[in-house]
Structure 1
Amino acid sequence: MQFNRRPKFRPTRTIGGQEVTPRKSMGQNFLVDEEVARWIADQIEPDGAAFVVEPGPGLGAMTQYLVDRPQKLLLIEKDNALAPQLETKYGHRGVEVQHGDATQADMRDWYQHGDVRVIGNLPYSVGGEIMKHMLTPPTPVKSAVFMLQKEVCQRLAARHGEDGYGALSVLVQRDWDVELLRIIPPEAFSPKPKVDSAIVRFTPRPPSTLPVYDRRLFEKLVRMGFSQRRKQMKNLLPPAPESWEALAGSLEMPVTMRAEELSVLQWVNLSRWYEERKTADAGQKASEIFDVVNERNEVIGQKTRGEVHAQGLLHRAVHVFVINARGDVFLQMRSHLKDVSPLKWDSSAAGHLDVGESYTACAIREVREEVGLEITTTELAAQLPAGTHTDHEFVELHIARHNGPMRCLPEEVPYGEWFTPAQITAWVEARPQDFAKGFVSCWKAWKP
Structure 2
Amino acid sequence: MSKKPVGHKARKRFGQNFLHDAGVIRRIIRSIAPREGEHLVEIGPGLGALTEELLAEAKALDAIELDRDLIPVLRTKFFNYGERFRIFETDALKFDFSELKNDDRPLRVVGNLPYNISTPLIFHLLSHSGLIRDMHFMLQKEVVDRLAAGPGTSDYGRLGIMTQYHCRVDPLFIVPPGAFNPAPKVDSAIVRLTPYDTLPHPARDVAMLETVVRTAFSQRRKTLRNNLRSLLEAAELETLGIDPGLRPERLTLAEFVKISDHLSDRQVTEHNGAE
TM (norm. structure 1) is 0.55
Whether 1:222 aligns to 2:210 is no
Deviation digits for residues 382-439 of structure 1 (CA, Å, limit 9, x no counterpart): xxxxxxxxxxxxxxxxxxxxxxxxxxxxxxxxxxxxxxxxxxxxxxxxxxxxxxxxxx
Q: In the aligned structure 2, how far is the partner of 1:159 from the partner of 1:117? A: 26
Q: In the aligned structure 2, how far is the partner of 1:99 from the partner of 1:255? A: 48
Residue 273 of structure 2 is matched in structure 1 by none
Residue 10 of structure 2 is matched in structure 1 by 22
Residue 269 of structure 1 is matched in structure 2 by 258
Change (3 A) 1:71 1:188: closer
Q: In the aligned structure 1, how far is the partner of 2:87 from the partner of 2:244? A: 54
Aligned to 2:49, what secondary structure does the other structure show? coil
Residue 92 of structure 2 is matched in structure 1 by 102
Change (3 A) 1:269 1:51: same
Residue 44 of structure 1 is matched in structure 2 by 32
- Runs (5+) with no aligned partner, structure 1: 1-14, 278-448
Q: In the aligned structure 1, how far is the partner of 2:129 from the partner of 2:139? A: 23
5 Å-filtered alignment, 1:68-83, equals: 68-70=56-58, 72-83=60-71
Q: Which has the higher strand share?
A: 1
Aligned to 1:104, what secondary structure does the other structure show? coil
Matching residue's letter, 2:205: D
2:188 to 184, 194, 197: 197
Aligned-pair CA distance for 1:239? 6.0
Aligned-pair CA distance for 1:86? 0.7
Aligned-pair CA distance for 1:208? 4.3
Q: In the aligned structure 2, how far is the partner of 1:19 from the partner of 1:208? A: 46
Change (3 A) 1:154 1:272: same
Change (3 A) 1:138 1:19: closer
* Count of residues in Structure 1 that have an aligned counterpart in Structure 2: 261
| Cα pair 2:44 2:63 within 8 Å, conserved | yes
1:55 to 30, 34, 43: 43
Aligned-pair CA distance for 1:98? 2.4
2:243 to 254, 261, 266: 254
Matching residue's letter, 2:264: E
Aligned to 1:227, what secondary structure does the other structure show? coil
Residue 272 of structure 2 is matched in structure 1 by none
Aligned-pair CA distance for 1:246? 4.5
Change (3 A) 1:146 1:106: same
| Cα pair 1:51 1:71 within 8 Å, conserved | no
| Cα pair 1:170 1:264 within 8 Å, conserved | yes
Change (3 A) 1:136 1:29: same
1:120 to 78, 97, 111: 111
Aligned-pair CA distance for 1:54? 0.5
Q: In the aligned structure 2, how far is the partner of 1:247 from the partner of 1:99? A: 48
Q: In the aligned structure 2, how far is the partner of 1:168 from the partner of 1:125? A: 14
Deviation digits for residues 87-134 of structure 1 (CA, Å, limit 9, x no counterpart): 111131232222222222232233324221001111222233332322
Deviation digits for residues 169-197 of structure 1 (CA, Å, limit 9, x no counterpart): 11211111111111111111111111111
Aligned to 2:190, what secondary structure does the other structure show? strand
Regions of 4+ moved over 6 Å = none
| Cα pair 2:129 2:195 within 8 Å, conserved | no
TM (norm. structure 2) is 0.87
Change (3 A) 1:208 1:82: closer
Q: In the aligned structure 2, how far is the partner of 1:175 from the partner of 1:224? A: 19
Larger Rg: 1
Aligned to 1:84, what secondary structure does the other structure show? helix
Aligned to 1:209, what secondary structure does the other structure show? coil
**Root-mean-square deviation over aligned CA pairs:** 2.1
Q: In the aligned structure 2, how far is the partner of 1:29 from the partner of 1:239? A: 42
Q: In the aligned structure 2, how far is the partner of 1:260 from the partner of 1:173? A: 14
Change (3 A) 1:101 1:240: closer
Q: Which has the higher helix share?
A: 2
Q: In the aligned structure 2, how far is the partner of 1:276 from the partner of 1:126? A: 35
Q: In the aligned structure 1, how far is the partner of 2:197 from the partner of 2:249? A: 23
